[in-house]
Chain A
Amino acid sequence: MKKYMGKTLVTILIMGCLLFAGRKGLAGLETANEERYLQKIFPYLLPGSTTFTLEMSVEAAEESQADNGAEVAGGPQTDNGTELAAASSAGEGGETEPVGEEIIPEEGEEAAEEEEIIRFVYRGETGYVICTVTQGYVDEIELLVGVDDSGKVKGLCVYGQHETFGLGAASQTNVPFLQQYLGTSGEAQTGTTVDALTGATVSSKAVTKGVNAAVAYVTGADISSGATSWGG
């Protein structure tokens, strides 16, 4: 019995060490490969731009949240340095406000909620490529959305999903479905302006929410209202 347990524990230990070492050793390479892949597809998502620089990442957002007491959402900087879309702060009157020291708690909550949707943002010459994460039917759906400076969607693709095969998974490959979002400026709504995928309303709503969140990041619109916990 002791021998049996010992052998199993040694095997688990060896496998664990191998995996941990592999993960640590390949971490840099993984980041470099992902960056290379993203740089390769960005020009298709945002035609007219050739160079893309990282403007905001999850780590940076978390750091800024920690620094500012978890109430400030990062937004794109214009050339003169004005904060364009501090999540909900510019939502009501279309005003652009720099991130202030005093933030009303409700707004802060909304900002944090919206920021959870955005994973990273890259700045191109003509706009932004934004990676959004929304809850689909099975798991989170990651979207890459190209939005130009005027707030129009120029391209999008599903970067990661685990939706049901044959139903929600089609959100990644169904070109006519994805094409519906091109040219929208945050007004996309599943069931009215956008036809949902057959048998995958929740996944379709999640894609819509992701696209609208990306546009809202650029324009500063408030998208938190009307969103359900399952996206849409």
Chain B
Amino acid sequence: MKKLTSKLKINETMMLALVMGITLIIMVLLKTFLAAAILIRLNIPNLAGLSLLSLLLTHYLGEKKSSHPVMNLVFAALIFGCLPWLAGLASVKEALWLAGVGGVEYTLISGMFASMTDRMECTIRSRLAPVCSAFVLFMAFQGFGNILL
């Protein structure tokens, strides 16, 4: 797996597009085959979870190069806005909201995740440092559950 991903040179935003795309495909399939299923809402805590998952996967499997924050913002907005709309899981208004909030959120999270992981890896040499950082950030973003709905 590592060999394959390093060969493909998957960067941060590519991984985000893959994670978001696969999640949405699963949601579309659930919506189709399990009519009674209540799908998760694309809100701030869940977007944070997806962002952190993609960052974790990039850290372990992808390219180590970090991209420019402005590029992160633009691509994240594109990913969080366009993909749910194309999947039919968000209206135009919701897609615009997701693009705005998701873009800013991903940019913030990627910055915080990188700095936290670097700091932890300096002191505690552990392969679990990114997981710990992601967990702490995920818990922190749960506080935004009822904000900006």
Contact = CB atoms under 8 A, between A and B. Distances in A.
A binds B: yes
Contacts of B29: 22, 26
Max chain A CB contacts within 10 Å: which of B21, B24, B25, B35?
B35
A7 B65 CA distance: 14
Interface string B1-38: 00000000101011001101100110011011101101
A15 B24 CA distance: 9
A97 interface: no
Nearest to B82: A16
A interface bracket (residues with beta carbon within 8 Å of B): 20 to 34
Given A15-B17, A162-B38, A8 B75 contact: yes
Interface in A45-90: none
Contacts, number: 80
A139 B88 contact: no
B148 interface: no
A8 B83 CA distance: 13
B86 interface: yes
Contact of B32 (A7, A18, A26): A26
B21 A18 contact: yes
A8 B13 CA distance: 6
A10 B60 CA distance: 22
B86 A23 contact: yes
Chain B interface extent, by class:
20 to 34
Contact of A33 (B32, B38, B75, B88): B32
**Chain B's interface: helix, strand, loop or mixed, by majority?**
helix
A11 B17 contact: yes
Given A138-B149, A162-B41, A30 B83 contact: no
B149 A7 contact: no
A5 interface: yes
A164 B14 CA distance: 33
A19 B87 CA distance: 5
B126 interface: no
A33 B28 contact: no
A139 B41 contact: yes
B38 A15 contact: no
18 contacts: A4-B67, A4-B71, A7-B9, A8-B17, A11-B17, A12-B17, A14-B21, A16-B82, A19-B28, A19-B87, A23-B28, A29-B32, A36-B35, A38-B35, A138-B41, A138-B149, A162-B38, A164-B146
Given A19-B83, A23-B88, A138-B149, 20 more contacts: A4-B11, A4-B71, A11-B14, A12-B79, A15-B18, A15-B21, A18-B25, A19-B28, A19-B86, A20-B86, A20-B87, A23-B87, A26-B28, A26-B32, A29-B33, A33-B32, A37-B36, A139-B149, A164-B145, A164-B146
